A and B are shown apart, each in its own frame.
Chain A
């Protein structure tokens, strides 16, 4: 049964990506098409694709598992993500949209290069994008492994390989248009899935019953707003999601590809709505898990087991597909953004500036395949940590590094390239270091941000940090003289 549903689903995705590549074939601007699908995406599609990209395997599988053990308070993390979406659409999207149009930017790194005009900064940001996204990509592949092994009993590695190669193939063929439209389709699927699951849970079970069985299993799990954690721990879990999205290149390109600036609020509304639906879904799902399931040992298995328990096979297969959608929509966006970063921001900028448009697209496709292969390799490593942990790290790193750079791009005229570089280095080192060494009382993300802010301020406002306009070159002086 599952195979029928999955095959139909795969077919839909293949049709979308073939359509995308055919549409792109007529376009004159090959790279503009492959990178941003010609910048004419509507608001419904943008909203859905934004949320679907922002939510991943971990959102559904990981957080449900965590909440099962630590209380409904984990839902703050989803509320934090919704707040992050809202902030991005209200604060950053209009400016990024306008900037991207006026300088004809294709990637988020283009914006950074234009703003700071610093080649080292551009190089460091590009490397950072690819380096920190590969584990995040691997998480999506691992998610598929977990899903297939708990539901169907297939070995995880086989699932990872099939899933990985499938995603790589459709990004390779269809480019940004395929990514955006398949994501929008998957976002729609997620929305329907979340709402129907929550409705079903509320119809079948009394909310009071959920509270009672949750409390019996995890004291404080339902009644305390921080669950079994302290308020500071909850903040440490939530903050990366509130601030992380703003700095993520694949989220930024969603704004850049939007057809009109007037569509920004509506796209944001859709994205936030989907995020809140996810939060409601999570509360209900975890409540149901405590009523229906015997105590579960491996937290990442809670949601798949719940689906098997609740639904008849047809619907269970449908829900499995919804989960696949969450992972696939994130995986394809990461692949696309890593591919474009490697090709445009590193290859074209540093190795071969005079590359032809057609060749650039080919290089991008090859980069997509290489990054995908790395992701699969990483996913096949034994003994990886819980899904949610890796995701938490990725968002934490972005929240304490790239978000500051983007603030500089959109709002902060005085910020210098040195300050942006300082934010990236200090943020990444403190965040990763504090996670590796064990957190000294405060969550890593708060510690990192507390170190980044003074660094950025110092490097922007210390006398001598602001670059003086360089003296005009000899040719320019001559030109000026001629004009006179």
Chain B
């Protein structure tokens, strides 16, 4: 089949994209972002009471 080269390139790229979400399977802790935007003093306080 006479497939233009750039289409092959695009397909390789496409397969890479499909596999991209699987990066999420790597075990790691998602930081809790719910303290974002709070003044630093409050955050430190919360960290002390909620920290594990």
Contacts and interface: CB of A to CB of B under 8 A. Distances in A.
A265 B17 contact: no
A413 B1 contact: no
A392 to B, nearest CB: 20
Interface residues of B, number: 31
Contacts of A225: 4, 6, 9-10
Main secondary structure of the interface of A (DSSP, over half): helix
A112 to B, nearest CB: 10
Contact of B17 (A75, A83, A409, A469): A83
A265 B18 contact: no
Closest 4 CB pairs of A and B: A268-B21, A469-B39, A208-B2, A225-B6
B33 A264 contact: no
Interface centre among B3, B6, B7, B17 (most CB of A within 10 A): B17
12 contacts: A79-B10, A90-B21, A99-B32, A114-B37, A208-B1, A224-B6, A264-B21, A265-B23, A272-B17, A272-B18, A413-B36, A469-B39
Contacts of B14: 79, 82, 276, 279
Contact of A79 (B13, B23, B24, B25): B13
A114 B25 contact: no
B10 A409 contact: no
A163 interface: no
A102 interface: yes
Interface in B1-52: 1-4, 6-7, 9-10, 13-15, 17-25, 30-34, 36-37, 39-42
A265 B34 contact: no
Contacts of B2: 207-208, 211-212
B37 to A, nearest CB: 5
Contacts of A132: none
A116 interface: yes
Contacts of A115: 33, 36-37
Interface of B: 1-4, 6-7, 9-10, 13-15, 17-25, 30-34, 36-37, 39-42
B52 to A, nearest CB: 14
B24 A89 contact: yes
Contacts of A223: 4
Contacts of B3: 207, 211
A99 B4 contact: no
Contacts of A72: 7
Interface centre among A208, A212, A275, A469 (most CB of B within 10 A): A469
A85 B10 CA distance: 17
B10 to A, nearest CB: 6
B24 A268 contact: yes
Interface of A: 72, 75-76, 79, 82-83, 85-87, 89-90, 93-95, 98-99, 102-103, 114-117, 206-208, 211-212, 222-225, 261, 264-269, 271-273, 275-276, 279, 283, 408-411, 413, 415, 467-469
Contact of B21 (A79, A89, A206, A467): A89
A408 B42 CA distance: 19
Given A90-B20, A276-B14, A116 B37 contact: yes
B19 to A, nearest CB: 8
B33 A265 contact: no
Given A223-B4, A265-B22, A265-B24, A82 B17 contact: yes
A95 B35 CA distance: 12
Contact of B24 (A94, A207, A408, A411): A94
B39 A272 contact: no
B41 A86 contact: no
A23 B34 CA distance: 31
Contacts of A408: 36
A264 B37 contact: no
A222 B7 CA distance: 9
Contact of A95 (B6, B9, B19, B33): B33
Contact of B32 (A102, A206, A261, A275): A102
A86 B17 CA distance: 6
Contacts of B6: 224-225
Contacts of A413: 36-37
A153 B7 CA distance: 37
A204 B23 CA distance: 38
Contacts of B21: 85-86, 89-90, 264-269, 271-272
A121 to B, nearest CB: 11
A76 B19 CA distance: 18
A94 B37 contact: no
